[in-house]
Amino acid sequence: MKFQISPRKQEDETLVLIPVFKTEDYATFLKNILEKYNFNIPNIENDFSADIKSISILYTPTHKIALLGLGKKYEENEIIRAFRFFFFKQKNTLQGKIGIDIEHIAENFLPEIVNGILLGGYDTQLYKTDKKQDKNWFLNNESNIVFYSNIPTKTAEKYIDKGQKIADSQMSVMDIVNAAPNFKTPKTISEWAIQSGKTNGFEVRILDKAQLEKEKLGCLLAVGNAGRVEPHLILMEYKPKNATKKVGLVGKGITFDNGGVSIKASTNMHFMKSDMGGAAAVLGTMEVVAKLQLDIHLVCAVPVAENLLGSQAYLPSDVLTSYSGKTIEVIDTDAEGRLIMADALTYLNRNYQPEILIDIATLTGSSVRTLGYMAGALLTNNEELAENLYKAGLKTGEKLWRLPLWDDYEDDISSDIADVRNYSGKDMAGCISAGKFLEVFTEKHQAYAHLDIPGTAFKLTEFASSHIGTAFGVRLFLDFLSRI
Ligand code: BES
Ligand code: ZN
Ligand code: ZN
C-alpha cells in the first residue's frame, strides 16, 4: 500500500473519503466542505448522522464521495475503529486510488488513520484453500491513498510510517493469536521471535527444555510436561545507545489450555487457542519498539507451553519448586498461567533487573466476568505505574481498570504444606488472588504491575463472525513507554 500527501485536488482518485466528527455544527461543516467539491445537498444531516462508523455514499456529477462518521469522542481508538470499519466493509468495492480529505483533522491523528485503514484489510482466512480475494482492494497492486492535507511532507511521512509499522506488527501478532494451536506451537513462536529479532534488530535467546532443566524453571517444565511439543522460555532484549529506562515485560504464552488434569468443559474450549494473548502483546511491543528505535531499554520474557492432559501431566496436589526456589502446591492444573508466569517473572527480574516490571496474561475467567470485553484488569501497589498505565489505556482505547492487590488477600494463596498454593479453592476474587500469587515471584519489586486481559485480547468484534485476536496491549504499552 502506498500513501501520499498532497493539497486537496481530485485527479485520478476514484473516491474521496471525508471523515466527519459529530460536532454541534457538523451540518455547517459538511455544507462548506461539500461546496469545495461543487456539491450541495440541503439538510444532509437528515441522512448522515456523523455517529461513529456511519457511512453515506454520495454521487455528485463529477465525484464519488463517501462520508464517514467519527462520532463525538476525539479518541485515538475511535478513529482507528471508524477507519478500520470503513475499509473492512468497503474493501471489495473499492478501486484504484482513493483520496481522503483530512485538512480539518488534527495531524497527530494521522498514525491512527493509517493504522485503521491497514487493519481494515486484516484477513482472517489463515487456512482457507480457496480465498475469496479477487476483488479485495488491499491485494491490488494499484491500491493507494492520497491524503489531502497541508501537513509538511516530512512530518506526514513520519506519522504514516509510524501508523504502518504498528499496524504491521499488530496484524502479525493477531495472526499468531488466531492461528490454530497445531500451527502455533512453542517452537513456532520461538522461531517468530528469532526472525523478528533478526529483521528488526533485537537480541533473542531461547531456553529449550534442556536449558530450562539446567536453570531449574520447575513450574514452566511441569506445565509443559504433557505438551505435544516441549516448552520454551523466549528472552528478548532491545538496548539502544541512548536508552533511558530499563523496562521488563512478561507475557503468558499458553498455545492451548485444556486445563490439564483439572480439565475444562468442552463448550468454548476451542477459544483456549488464544491463551497466548499476553505473549502476543509482548512480542508485538518488542517488535514495534525496535522498529521505531525508541530510547527504551526493553527486556522481555515469554514462557511458551501447551497445557494438556496426558500420563506425563502434572497433578493437582503435586508440589513444584519454582525458579525462585519457592515451593508451590498445585490445587488446580487449570491455574497454569500463573505457574509459568511465576518462573518467567523471577527469571527476568533476577537476570535482567528491569526498573519497571509488567506482566500481561490471559489469566482468569474472573477478570472477564468482572470487566467483560471492555477493559483489562490492572493490579499494582505502585501509584505512579497505576496512573501511567491507566492513562495510556484511556488514550489508546486499550483500557485498564484497577483492582486491589492488598495483602488482605494473602490467605487465598497460603498453603499448609508448601510456600504458596496456586488456587484458593473458592470461586471469589479469582483475578485478585492470581495477582497476589504472581506478586510473590517478583521478589518485592517496587514497580510491578500485573495486567489480566482475556476479555480484551480475543473477543467478538464487528470484523469477524466469531472471536478474533485484537493485539490488545501493543498500543497500550507504546503509549505507556512514552510516559515514563
Ligand atoms: N486461560 C485461563 C483463563 C481464561 C478464562 C482465559 C477464560 C480466557 C477465557 C486460565 O488458565 C484458567 O483456566 N484460569 C482459571 C483459574 C482457576 C482454575 C483458578 C479460571 O479463571 O477459571
Ligand atoms: Zn487454565
Ligand atoms: Zn490459561
* Ligand 1, atom nearest to 338 Cα: 11
Give residue 413's pLDDT band: very low, low, confident or very high (50, 70, 90). Answer: very high
1 pLDDT tier (thresholds 50, 70, 90): confident
Q: List, as own/partner pairs, every contact residues 22-26 make where C-beta atoms lie below 8 angstroms and the sequence separation is at least 24, other chains included.
A: 22/49, 22/50, 22/51, 22/52, 22/69, 22/70, 22/71, 22/72, 23/50, 23/72, 26/50
Best mutation site among 271, 364, 373, 433 for ligand 1, i.e. most ligand atoms within 8 A of its Cβ?
364
- Distance in angstroms (rounded) separating the CA atoms of residues 151 and 155: 7
Work out the percent of the chain whose per-residue pLDDT is above 70: 100
Choose one of 331, 340, 363 to mutate for the ligand 1 pocket test, by most ligand atoms within 8 angstroms of C-beta.
Answer: 363
For 46-100, write each residue's pLDDT tens digit: 999 999 999 999 998 888 999 999 999 989 999 999 999 999 999 999 999 999 9
Is 0.85 surpassed by the pTM of this model? yes
**Can you tell me which atom of ligand 1 is nearest the CA of 337?**
11
Tens of pLDDT along 307-347? 999 999 999 999 999 999 999 999 999 999 999 999 999 99
CA of 437 to the centre of ligand 1 (A): 14
Q: Which amino acid is at 380?
A: T
Candidates 338, 421, 459, 475; catalytic one: 338
Radius of gyration of the chain (CA): 24
Which amino acid residue places its CA nearest to atom 7 of ligand 1?
365
Separation of alpha carbons 344 and 324, rounded Å: 10
Question: Active site includes 89?
Answer: no
Rounded distance from Cα 439 to ligand 2 centre (Å): 19
* Active-site residue flag, 338: yes
List the residue whose alpha carbon is closest to atom 13 of ligand 1.
334
Ligand 1 site residues (CB inside 6 A) read 257, 275, 332, 334-337, 362-366, 368, 423, 430, 454
State yes or no: pLDDT of 415 exceeds 80: yes
Q: What is the mean pLDDT of the chain?
A: 96
Q: Examine the pLDDT at 244 and tell me if it is beyond 90.
A: no
The CA 318 to ligand 2 mean position distance, Å, reads 16
Alpha carbon of 80 to ligand 1 centroid (Å): 30
Q: Nearest ligand to the C-alpha of residue 270? A: 1
Counting ligands in written order, which one lies closest to the CA of residue 427?
1
Digit-coded pLDDT (tens) for 268-309:
999 999 999 999 999 999 999 999 999 999 999 999 999 999
The pLDDT value recorded for residue 315 is 98
pLDDT at 479 over 90: yes
Q: Which of 334, 366, 453 should be mutated for ligand 1, with most atoms under 8 A from CB? A: 334
Which one is catalytic: 31, 64, 89, 264? 264
Buried b (16+ CB within 10 A) or exposed e, 172-208: bbbbbbbbebeebbbbbbbebbeebbeebebebebbe
Interacting residues of 350 by C-beta distance below 8 A, sequence separation 6+: 443
Cα(363) to centroid(ligand 1), Å: 6
Beta bridge partners of 232: 304
Cα–Cα distance list, 296 to 200, 233, 285 (Å): 15, 22, 12
| pLDDT tens, position by position, 224-238 | 999 999 999 999 999
Across the range 366-383, mean pLDDT stands at: 98
According to the 3-state scheme, what is the secondary structure of the chain?
Answer: CEEEEECCCCCCCCEEEEEEECCCCHHHHHHHHHHHCCCCCCCHHHCCCCCCCCEEEEECCCCEEEEEEEECCCCHHHHHHHHHHHHHHHCCCCCCEEEEECCCCCHHHHHHHHHHHHHHCCCCCCCCCCCCCCCCHHHCCCCEEEEECCCCHHHHHHHHHHHHHHHHHHHHHHHHHHCCCCCCCHHHHHHHHHHHHHHHCCEEEEECHHHHHHHCCHHHHHHHHHCCCCCEEEEEEECCCCCCCEEEEEECEEEEECCCCCCCCCCCHHHHHHCCHHHHHHHHHHHHHHHCCCCCEEEEEEEEEEECCCCCCCCCCCEEECCCCCEEECCCCCCCHHHHHHHHHHHHHHHHCCCEEEEEECCCHHHHHHHCCCCEEEEECCHHHHHHHHHHHHHHCCCEEECCCCHHHHHHHCCCCCCEECCCCCCCCHHHHHHHHHHHCCCCCCCEEEEECHHHHEECCCCCCCCEECCCCHHHHHHHHCCC
pLDDT at 135 over 90: no
Q: Which atom of ligand 1 is nearest to the CA of 366?
A: 21
Q: 7-58: per-residue pLDDT in tens? A: 987 788 899 999 999 999 999 999 999 999 989 888 888 999 999 999 999 9
Q: Whose CA is nearest to atom 17 of ligand 1?
A: 335
